Amino acid sequence: MTTTLNVPAADLPAPPDAAKKPYTVKAPHGAQRSDEYYWLRDDKRKNPEMLAYLNAENAYVDAVMKPLKPLEDKLYGEIVGRIKQDDSSVPYRERGYWYYTRFETGQDYPIHARRKGSMEDAEQVLLDVNAMAKGKDYFSVGAMEVTQDNQILAWADDAVGRRQYKIRFKNLATGEIYSDVIENTSTDLVWADDNKTLFYVENDPKTLLTVRIKKHVLGTPASKDVLVYEEKDDSFYMGIERSRDDAYICINIHSTVSSEVRCAPAADPKEFFVLAPRQRDVEYDADHLGGRWVIRTNAPGADGKPAPNFKLVTADDGARSIKEWKDWIAHRDDVFVEGFELFDGFTAVAERSNALERLRLIGKDGKEEFVKADEPAFSMGLSVNSEHDTPWLRYTYTSLTTPATTYELNTATGERKLLKRQPVIGYDADKYVTERFWATARDGVKVPVSLVYKKGFEKNGKAALLQYAYGSYGMSMDPGFNSTVVSLLDRGMVYAIAHIRGGQEMGRKWYDDGKLFHKQNTFNDFVDVTADLVKAGYAAPDRVAAYGGSAGGLLMGAIANMAPDKYRVVLSQVPFVDVVTTMLDASIPLTTNEYDEWGNPEKKDYYDYMLSYSPYDNLKKQAYPAMFVGTGLWDSQVQYWEPAKYVARLRDLDTGKQPVLFRTNMDAGHGGKSGRFRRFREQAEMYSFMIDQMQVSADIVAK
């Protein structure tokens, strides 16, 4: 059977119609644009007219989706039914304690705990997030750090969803919650060796930029916290961490194209030295072990050759400039160095080649080997390796058919232990197939695609397909297991991840070719992947759905304007669709950090290029696909008014008859609702809309 709304348009309520109010957005170079829905922006989220519009849109979604509520409930039950409710993470050892997170049946939030000596010893609960979240619409613990003497816990929590955290403290010996509270922070927390001084990052309360490093001494007012470092350049982010050997506390300062690391001895962190002064187009990150620095960088070597795919260099303990760095792992045009982990006896290097991840192990004797994988498309990476004086490497492995798995590999003997494979109740990996497909973009570039479907699938050009991508910030969308997708595969659908330019799956050039004045490649790649998948028989031309979120929502808006006829449905979550207006406003959180990603529209050449693809500005009179657009009222990364304005203008211009739904989560931010179950209700609603629109069977296909 198929499920359809089967409700005459006349019987459905009319979609909301937002009021138009004249407003002109001006650029410094004189350009002007009319924005009749600018009034929907309210930084305080209190404007009654704006809230009434968002609530009207939610009521419209409720009315349109009412016939599909049974399917939504069914999907939600399937998704949640695959979750092992009394689950726990793989414990890791640090300073004599085993730390882990566990869930209890029926509970939405984790319990963070530890055991001293071994996992057979008594449990000590650090934080029961279920109790902390009680009575709150949203709650998240963003970070936790324990003092070097194992006695005091600091954590950062957010009760709004805007990623402005409060830091609090607990005495783990007595259970006492201290009265100290620090507001407007990020999640980075580092204790000094004195076990009473905490270093943290303070955010600007309006722009949310990481602007200051401060230190707090337990028992003193937060208003007296000492300023350690202030970043004056608002195109940079900041973080703080300990070095691998715990010898240093390091401030990591980075923009899209430049980095700087400042460190101080953890035993006496009074003065921070600069490891290497920042330079435009030179990025680096560093760690310390065995009396030397190991640095991942794209800086040219002594020969002057650039290293866009990054390399590893070393430096003596006292080195303070790039000139003192010595090449260790050379740059390669076909391998992107993504990260590394230092151990006493070896180094693990995380790399990318041919759009796949791999781990290269380098022994002290210089011998190298790769950690093996068994599937054509997979995701592999470093896991929690809290101790460096061990031959055991922990790493994660997953694919579109293999649930998240944690292995432990003895680099001396080759012995491998399976520590955990994420339980997925009722799931049988043997019933599904994953493969790698290469599409050809219009400029001739080959674009990798990861595919998964149920065994028995026939490439006869009749199936429904969901195509997902992101394509920005150099973030790679690796083919990892997604339990919600199983409900689609079981109904005969194909799921595809398009590894388009703008990500970093194929190295740094893949990223560079999908940003700034090359951004159009990102959108072209996605559309061209769709065309090739349809041509190859993976989907019917009228049964393709596109899905993306955040910057991937920008992608959704762009492809809906470019090629509306290629998509039956577009699913867009927290979409960045008003590119030019947002990037012209430095008061909006995160804007200034991203000039090297999108460009600064205060410069006319960037303005004109961004305007050429900005989804809100390029809406036009044409028939658009069915759309489901979601946002969070408290989103700090893509403000709610971007999708709100986009949908309001889309309703004015759309000449088609497909439904456009706009759901605002009134008590959440960029990541949706908190808790491990509630977010799946949103996913089930969106999936039920897509399944209905593409005439996919509501029942599971037996094969």
State the Cα–Cα distance between residues 135 and 109, nearest whole angstrom.
13
Does pLDDT of 634 surpass 90? no
Kindly state which CATH superfamily the domain 13-81+453-693 is placed in: Alpha/Beta hydrolase fold, catalytic domain (3.40.50.1820)
Does pLDDT of 457 surpass 50? yes
Residue 101 C-alpha from the chain's centroid:
21
Higher pLDDT, 353 or 167: 167
State the Cα–Cα distance between residues 100 and 619, nearest whole angstrom.
49
b/e sequence 16-29, b meaning 16+ C-beta within 10 Å = bebeeeeeebebee
pLDDT, tens only, 653-688 = 999 999 999 999 987 655 555 566 788 999 999 999
pLDDT at 702: 64
**3-state secondary structure string, 654-665?**
ECCCCCEEEEEE
State the Cα–Cα distance between residues 645 and 576, nearest whole angstrom.
11
Among 145-149, 183-187, 295-299, 606-610, whose mean pLDDT is lowest?
183-187
Q: What is the mean pLDDT of residues 412-437?
A: 96
Structure tokens at 365: 């004797």
Find the catalytic residue in 399, 483, 487, 550. 550
Specify burial of residue 206 (Cβ count, 10 A radius: 0-12, 13-18, 19+).
exposed
Contact 592, 206 (CB under 8 A): no
Residue with tokens 């600069």: 274
Q: What is the mean pLDDT of residues 137-162?
A: 92
State the Cα–Cα distance between residues 522 and 352, nearest whole angstrom.
20
pLDDT at 4: 54
Sign of the dihedral through C-alpha 266, 270, 272, 273: negative
Torsion angle in degrees (nearest 10) through CA of 579, 585, 588, 589: 80
- State the pLDDT confidence band at 7, using cuts at 50, 70 and 90: low
Please name the residues in contact with 43: beta carbons below 8 A apart, sequence gap of 6 or more: none
Q: How far is CA 353 from CA 338, 360, 368, 391, 567, in A?
A: 11, 12, 16, 26, 31
Does pLDDT of 2 surpass 80? no
Does pLDDT of 310 surpass 80? yes
Positions of CATH 3.40.50.1820 in the chain: 13-81+453-693
Paired residues of 158 in beta bridges:
140
599 CB-side CA count, 13 A: 24
pTM: 0.89
Provide the 10 A C-beta neighbour count for residue 456.
11
Please name the residues in contact with 174: beta carbons below 8 A apart, sequence gap of 6 or more: none
Query: Is 635 a known active-site residue?
Result: yes
Torsion angle in degrees (nearest 10) through CA of 423, 425, 431, 434: -40
Torsion angle in degrees (nearest 10) through CA of 236, 238, 242, 248: 60
pLDDT at 591: 78
pLDDT at 301: 86
pLDDT at 137: 83
Q: DSSP character for 268? A: S
Paired residues of 421 in beta bridges:
405
Positions of CATH 2.130.10.120 in the chain: 136-274
Find the catalytic residue in 578, 635, 654, 692. 635
Query: Is 587 a known active-site residue?
Result: no
Does pLDDT of 638 surpass 90? no
pLDDT at 8: 52
pLDDT at 1: 33
Radius of gyration of the chain (CA): 26
Contact 484, 690 (CB under 8 A): no
- State the pLDDT confidence band at 235, using cuts at 50, 70 and 90: confident
Is domain 136-274 annotated with CATH 3.50.50.60?
Answer: no
Tell me the pLDDT of the chain averaged across its residues: 94
